Chain A
Amino acid sequence: MTVWVSFEVNGGPVDVEVEPMRRLADVLRDDLGLTGTKIGCNAGDCGACTVRIDGQQACACLVPVAQVAGCQVRTIEGMGAGAPGAPAREFADLGDLQRAFLEAGAAQCGICTPGMLMAAEDLLEGPADPTEAQIGDAIAGVLCRCTGYRKIVEAIVHGVVAHRSGPAHPSGDTRPDAPGTRQPAVGARLAKVDGIERVAGSAIYGADQPPAEFLVLRAVRSPHARARFRIGDLGPLRQRFPGLVLVLTAADIPGQNRYGIYATGKDQPALADGEVRHRGEAVLALVGDARTIEGIDDADVPIDWEPLPPVRDMDAATAEGAPLLHPNVPSNVLISGRVARGDVEDALRRSVVSAEVDVETTFVEHAYIEPEAGSARRVGDRIELFVSTQTPYMDRDEVALILGLRPHQVRIIPSAVGGGFGGKLDLSVHPLIATAAWLLDRPVRAIWTRPESMAASPKRHPSRIRARAGADAEGQLTAFEFHADFDTGAYASWGPTVANRVPVHAMGPYEVPAVLATTRAIHTNNPPAGAFRGFGVPQAAIAHEALMDDLAAQLGIDALEFRLRNALRAGSVTATGQALRASAGLPACLEALRPHWASWRSATEAWNAVQSAAGGPARRGVGIGAMWYGIGNTSMSNPSTIELGVDRAGGLTLYSGAVDIGQGASTVLVQIAADALGVPADSVGLVSGDTDRTADAGKSSASRQTFVSGNAARLAGEDLRAQILRLAEAGDGSTISLGNGRATVIEPGGGAIAIDLAELTPVRATDASASPVLLGRGFFDPTTTPLDADGQGHPYATYAFGAQIAEVEVDLELGTTRVLRIVAAHDVGRAINPTQVEGQIHGGIAQGLGLALMEAYVPGRTENLHDYLIPTVGDIPPITCLLIEDHEPAGPYGAKGVGEPALVPTAPAILGAIHHATAARITRVPATPDRVRAAIRAIESAHAAERSDRADLTS
């Protein structure tokens, strides 16, 4: 049944013939092509689809299109001064709020940005200087997973002010170059090079631009954690649904039906072959027109299930006689990791004080607002995928294996990525859409639903940690012993990375003479646990920081001072025997925090005294967390190649295979390349990610793109500069400008040499469609050495350091925790773009806060964004960033990474603050209200027992 519905969109009339109950979001996107409205959950939980209906914000995913008959609908495409109904394209076209978002760095991945901007328009009608609470109330319905909201709030304040001050906009130009001069781009707060399309809603994400005449694919997934199954006769299904073009099963996979991150660990089938190992595993895929595929219920598909008792947890997995997940993995132990140095037992025995802690963490979901999505099309004997990914080259090789093709037959074109955080390092839609498109020779698209995304994608590893540490009377650490078991779920994914990375970092950023750190990654019938911002180090940090607090308290030493005494610094030797030569700025971070720490601690103690006297239930506390993090792969080569080409007209293009997942890699690489070449950053064009057009820059993970690809971009810029200077026979002090078919070199003395670019012979670049006449190429692979059996070696070329302090308020009676403020000091070597560095810190803190207080993924139970809680705008406190720049000699302009480091110390700082406030040490996260209250009760009853014992003694 369809009806005609007439309404206005962005001021223009629209008539559509639709099913009346279709969601407005689908009509806007699919019928009207307005894909600036994003769909993150289809349940009203995330707000990404926020539009305005008759001036009021609404989730377009929850509005029957028939209800907007006669209404005025406003979408992101209506914002700004672009052509009616078309998104703004130039800075000058942007509206006040959009400009403010761009300038403040309020859009990272950009998937929530259109919804956030739509919601923020409420404030244009309110007071001229909205309070933080008013801003929060207006935008609370939109979840952001990248920014930690602080820069969004800041941008809204600026945007409202600009809106009030009338049509005379400030120039808004954040680029530092006045005509004829060139300021260094490195260190400048440049707006994102891909920012305008994000605030305009025109960036193309995985679900936004399907190829013509595409078919839709949807996987049918296991409702069981462990089962055998048999697919029945599909004849009746095909008969009932004539639009069903293909039913894909394991037997249809043309190549190898096994994939996985490590060459030795390819254990995950694209489609399960007779046995499923976790709930949500794909068993077959339905391909056809959208209507048909939407109309088929899982129950319509003939699958005979034989459920088997699942291996639910690590205890069950390692118990005698436990079923093996994979026959080649004895005892279900996928891998073990180990770092050993000195005699820990002896050192512990001789320690003046020692402390012990048990930590337990659970599955954490990435909860990027963009679910996995993409499309595939066959082009002759090649397959092309347009897909949301963090790692195009690994995708290319995996898809080639699955299709039985050679890697060069696969082209991966990354879409704009609506958040990754490690979760888009594994294959998602790729193998199935590629197989279907290959077999059918027709374009195929898949978009995961939110529940599907949560059930099928990898998670942060649950962990069980036991750790002990000792110190001498002077407060020097003497020994550290650590063991962690990680539930790596049904398949290996990035489990080996966690098992290898954690022992190196287990003792925290401290110099400890005797260390024994061991880990195991254990298979269960849980969802695969893989890469998630920090690769297990955030879990380990909860343990080592609890121990530092405990040891400091036992010795009567201030907790910050204790960390400072033991902090790794230049000249220290790590537990893997690596001497740190430079850029180990933890002492500077701690010193920077010290004034805040001292004043906050005394202020909260005074505040608590008042509360206590008044009988109030609230107590405040301040905690500290410190961290270190090796940049790049652990003891493994992780090279990057970047190209910088000049075309005949003098146009400059950076060919970067480093995918920008919102963290800002593209902007950072442009800034670095521009400075290395010596040209303005806004003269550098960008081709990003496409495996046909860029060289392999490695994956966007392990906080490596600024350091590794940044070096490659620097070398590419320097290479190009050297070539141009050589052609001009000019010295290194000369300046270069490009344009009008010429490269012009001006020597320090003022003499100008013009090179006619048309006269140069085109050179070969990775991008066969380009014909640069000059091409700079940079290659960088950080220097590491393998770890021996005791984990001794140089696993990383450089390390990031940082420390954070958090103030919390705990309600003793309810166990609720509110974080009041955070100061974060991070040694980033050099802040290539301080706005983006702050953005990474804010975002890392938001995820660390979620880990500490609210996030718990339970398979089958929290597969949506209202049962799985991530922080909202109201949960993130004001954050002060202190950027410590301890120059890294091996880094581009001294820079290191910051993406993961920012998350690591947050949970420890919050948990330490809860302890300071309540005396309760929470070691099982998330510290939900019931757990905090239970811990407080335990202390209360211990005190009560003590009192009654005393009373007994005195009576």
Chain B
Amino acid sequence: MGSYLRPTTVTEATEALARAREEGRPGTVVAGATDHYPGRVVRVVRVVDDDVIDISGLVGLRRIEEVGGGWHIPALATWTDVGTASLPPMFDGLRRAALAVGGRQIQNRATVVGNLVNASPAADGTPNLLALDAVVTLASARGERRVPVADFVTGNRTTVRAVDELVTGLFVPAPDSGARATFLKLGSRAYLVISIAMVAAVLAVDATRRITSARVAVGACSAVAQRLPELEAVLRGMPAAPGIGETVRPEHLITLSPIDDVRGTAAYRREAAETLVRRALEELVA
């Protein structure tokens, strides 16, 4: 196997990543490791020769906290941490995703950030983080930068993270933490299921029950989960009342590019996504 480092500070980690970059042997960053091993078992349990930088020892990156104008979800926050943290209703969708990522064995060790960085089209976290307008914080020996989630994931298993960068956490702005949120996941069995389609939605309403902001994202129906900006624009200013699901039109989902696979046909995915969007909105105004 390759080298192994378990740094105790972010600086130690980013310096190691910088060194690895210079040596032309980019390191693999491991946190909960739940995606690390399955990704590497193809037909045989092979000795993996990646150089590993195991960030699980960065104990300062565990606690989910309220910070100025929003919430910080650090790199080591697990799904169980999200499920048990005291968070406002706008996180209800992410909280629901926390209970849907694998079984508890996975939820206890897998991180929200890892789910995003792994960049699977079916990642349960990503539509929620998109709908929350989350911002990714990347640190490297070169400095720190912030990238919106929408710009962070660029394709199936690809992100803008440079090989010497470490994602230290996510910032979720919460100007209207009274917003409500939901997450609907569609699969062929009750637990442990890779989504056929999923929808995350965050809705904010003013005192007259008019929608001030609607953020809706669909996952597993394109290489990268997508927001539905046209639908969101239509929803803004509408009364938050039952029947709102009727607003949804097939053309609002036109940018999706679902595929046929063992879990479902493309046509089915498209239709199901529309149904889920409708239901998510109805749930949020109920």
Q: Which of A50-58, A224-232, A251-259 contacts B (4 or more CB under 8 A)?
A: A50-58
Which one, A23, A63, A814, A872, contacts B275 given CB within 8 A?
Answer: A814
Q: How far is the CB of B205 from chain A (nearest CB, A)?
A: 24
Which one, A1, A44, A141, contacts B4 given CB within 8 A?
Answer: A1
Which one, B2, B34, B48, B189, contacts A875 given CB within 8 A?
Answer: B189
Give A138 to B34 CA distance when docked, in angstroms.
18
Give A141 to B54 CA distance when docked, in angstroms.
25
Q: Which residue of A lies closest to B260 (CB)?
A: A930
A-B contact pairs, 8 of them (CB 8 A): A3-B4, A56-B104, A58-B109, A294-B45, A298-B43, A449-B45, A814-B276, A866-B194
Do residues B43 and A66 form an inter-chain contact, with CB atoms below 8 A? no
Q: Please encode chain A, from 40 to 79, with 1 for each CB lying within 8 Å of some chain B CB and 0 for all others.
A: 0011110100100100111101111011000000000000
Contacts of B33 in A (CB 8 A): 62-64, 67
Which one, A871, A926, A929, contacts B196 given CB within 8 A?
Answer: A929
Do residues A43 and B38 form an inter-chain contact, with CB atoms below 8 A? yes
Do residues A928 and B99 form an inter-chain contact, with CB atoms below 8 A? no
Do residues B191 and A872 form an inter-chain contact, with CB atoms below 8 A? yes
Q: How far is the CB of A782 from chain B (nearest CB, A)?
A: 39
B103 part of interface (Cβ distance < 8 Å):
yes
Contacts of A67 in B (CB 8 A): 33, 54, 56
Do residues A137 and B44 form an inter-chain contact, with CB atoms below 8 A? no
Give A821 to B260 CA distance when docked, in angstroms.
32
A569 part of interface (Cβ distance < 8 Å):
no
Q: Please encode chain A, from 505 to 531, with 1 for each CB lying within 8 Å of some chain B CB and 0 for all others.
A: 000000000000000000000000000
Q: Please encode chain A, from 129 to 146, with 1 for each CB lying within 8 Å of some chain B CB and 0 for all others.
A: 000000011111111000
Do residues A141 and B46 form an inter-chain contact, with CB atoms below 8 A? no
Which one, A19, A64, A136, A854, contacts B54 given CB within 8 A?
Answer: A64
With A62-B109, A869-B189, A928-B188 known as contacts, the answer to whether A122 contacts B104 (CB < 8 A) is yes
Q: Which of A404-412, A465-473, A855-863 contacts B (4 or more CB under 8 A)?
A: A855-863
Do residues A64 and B268 form an inter-chain contact, with CB atoms below 8 A? no
Contacts of A928 in B (CB 8 A): 188, 263-264
B-binding residues in A (CB < 8 A): 1, 3, 19-21, 23, 42-45, 47, 50, 53, 56-59, 61-64, 66-67, 119, 122, 136-143, 218, 221, 291, 294-295, 297-298, 449, 451-452, 455, 813-816, 818, 853-854, 856, 858, 861-862, 864, 866-867, 869, 871-875, 926, 928-930, 933-934
With A44-B37, A297-B46, A449-B41 known as contacts, the answer to whether A814 contacts B105 (CB < 8 A) is no
B190 part of interface (Cβ distance < 8 Å):
yes
Q: How far is the CB of B249 from chain A (nearest CB, A)?
A: 16
Which one, B2, B192, B262, B264, contacts A45 given CB within 8 A?
Answer: B192
Q: Which residue of A lies closest to B108 (CB)?
A: A56
Give A790 to B104 CA distance when docked, in angstroms.
56
Do residues A221 and B4 form an inter-chain contact, with CB atoms below 8 A? no
Residues facing A in B29-71 (CB within 8 A) are 30, 32-34, 36-38, 41-48, 52, 54, 56
Give A869 to B261 CA distance when docked, in angstroms.
14
Contacts of A59 in B (CB 8 A): 34, 105-106, 109
Extra inter-chain contacts (18) besides given A23-B37, A59-B109, CB under 8 Å: A1-B1, A21-B30, A43-B41, A62-B109, A64-B36, A67-B56, A119-B105, A122-B104, A136-B191, A140-B190, A294-B44, A295-B47, A449-B44, A869-B188, A874-B189, A874-B190, A929-B188, A933-B271
Q: How far is the CB of A908 from chain B (nearest CB, A)?
A: 20
Size of B's binding interface in residues, CB under 8 A? 51
With A295-B46, A813-B275 known as contacts, the answer to whether A140 contacts B41 (CB < 8 A) is no
Do residues B42 and A451 form an inter-chain contact, with CB atoms below 8 A? yes
- Of B30, B45, B263, most A-chain CB atoms within 10 Å: B45
Which one, B4, B43, B188, B262, contacts A853 given CB within 8 A?
Answer: B188
Do residues B45 and A138 form an inter-chain contact, with CB atoms below 8 A? no
Do residues B103 and A1 form an inter-chain contact, with CB atoms below 8 A? no
With A21-B4, A449-B43, A867-B262 known as contacts, the answer to whether A930 contacts B268 (CB < 8 A) is yes
Q: Please encode chain B, from 264 to 286, with 1 for each CB lying within 8 Å of some chain A CB and 0 for all others.
A: 11001101100110000000000
Q: How far is the CB of B31 from chain A (nearest CB, A)?
A: 10
Q: Which residue of A lies closest to B106 (CB)?
A: A44
B193 part of interface (Cβ distance < 8 Å):
yes
Q: How far is the CB of A111 from chain B (nearest CB, A)?
A: 16
Give A719 to B106 CA distance when docked, in angstroms.
56
With A57-B105, A291-B47, A874-B189 known as contacts, the answer to whether A19 contacts B1 (CB < 8 A) is yes
With A21-B1, A44-B38 known as contacts, the answer to whether A814 contacts B104 (CB < 8 A) is no
Do residues A862 and B262 form an inter-chain contact, with CB atoms below 8 A? yes
Q: How far is the CB of A60 from chain B (nearest CB, A)?
A: 9
Do residues A451 and B41 form an inter-chain contact, with CB atoms below 8 A? yes
Give A945 to B54 CA distance when docked, in angstroms.
61
Contacts of A861 in B (CB 8 A): 262
Do residues B54 and A66 form an inter-chain contact, with CB atoms below 8 A? yes
With A21-B48, A43-B38, A137-B99 known as contacts, the answer to whether A929 contacts B268 (CB < 8 A) is yes
Q: How far is the CB of A505 from chain B (nearest CB, A)?
A: 29
Q: How far is the CB of A855 from chain B (nearest CB, A)?
A: 10
In the A-B complex, the 7 residue pairs with the smallest Cβ-Cβ separation, listed nearest first, are A141-B103, A874-B190, A930-B268, A140-B191, A43-B38, A930-B264, A872-B191
Q: How far is the CB of A873 from chain B (nearest CB, A)?
A: 7
Q: Which residue of B lies closest to A927 (CB)?
A: B188
Which one, B43, B108, B196, B276, contacts A221 given CB within 8 A?
Answer: B43
Residues facing A in B91-110 (CB within 8 A) are 99, 102-106, 108-109
Do residues B272 and A929 form an inter-chain contact, with CB atoms below 8 A? yes
Q: Which residue of B lies closest to A49 (CB)?
A: B105
With A66-B54, A861-B262, A933-B271 known as contacts, the answer to whether A451 contacts B43 (CB < 8 A) is yes
Give A308 to B172 CA distance when docked, in angstroms.
54
B226 part of interface (Cβ distance < 8 Å):
no
Give A56 to B106 CA distance when docked, in angstroms.
10
Do residues B99 and A933 form an inter-chain contact, with CB atoms below 8 A? no
With A853-B188, A872-B191 known as contacts, the answer to whether A933 contacts B268 (CB < 8 A) is yes
Do residues A64 and B30 form an inter-chain contact, with CB atoms below 8 A? yes
Do residues B189 and A140 form an inter-chain contact, with CB atoms below 8 A? no
Q: Which residue of A lies closest to B186 (CB)?
A: A814
B208 part of interface (Cβ distance < 8 Å):
no
Give A736 to B190 CA distance when docked, in angstroms.
53
Do residues B1 and A297 form an inter-chain contact, with CB atoms below 8 A? no
Q: Which residue of B lies closest to A449 (CB)?
A: B45
Q: Which residue of B lies closest to A297 (CB)?
A: B46
B140 part of interface (Cβ distance < 8 Å):
no
Give A861 to B192 CA distance when docked, in angstroms.
18
Contacts of B191 in A (CB 8 A): 136, 140-141, 872-875
Give A19 to B264 CA distance when docked, in angstroms.
41
Contacts of B30 in A (CB 8 A): 21, 64
Give A707 to B161 CA distance when docked, in angstroms.
64
Give A221 to B43 CA distance when docked, in angstroms.
9
Contacts of B262 in A (CB 8 A): 856, 858, 861-862, 867
Which one, A61, A814, A818, contacts B272 given CB within 8 A?
Answer: A814
B6 part of interface (Cβ distance < 8 Å):
yes
Q: How far is the CB of B112 from chain A (nearest CB, A)?
A: 16
Contacts of A62 in B (CB 8 A): 32-34, 36-38, 105-106, 109
B80 part of interface (Cβ distance < 8 Å):
yes
Give A815 to B263 CA distance when docked, in angstroms.
13
Give A47 to B54 CA distance when docked, in angstroms.
23
Contacts of B1 in A (CB 8 A): 1, 19, 21
Give A42 to B189 CA distance when docked, in angstroms.
21
With A44-B37, A57-B108, A449-B43 known as contacts, the answer to whether A872 contacts B102 (CB < 8 A) is no
Residues facing A in B227-275 (CB within 8 A) are 262-265, 268-269, 271-272, 275
Contacts of A19 in B (CB 8 A): 1, 4
Q: Which residue of B lies closest to A856 (CB)?
A: B262
Contacts of A1 in B (CB 8 A): 1-4
Give A44 to B108 CA distance when docked, in angstroms.
12
Do residues B47 and A929 form an inter-chain contact, with CB atoms below 8 A? no
Which one, B38, B44, B54, contacts A20 given CB within 8 A?
Answer: B54
Give A175 to B103 CA distance when docked, in angstroms.
36
Give A53 to B43 CA distance when docked, in angstroms.
29
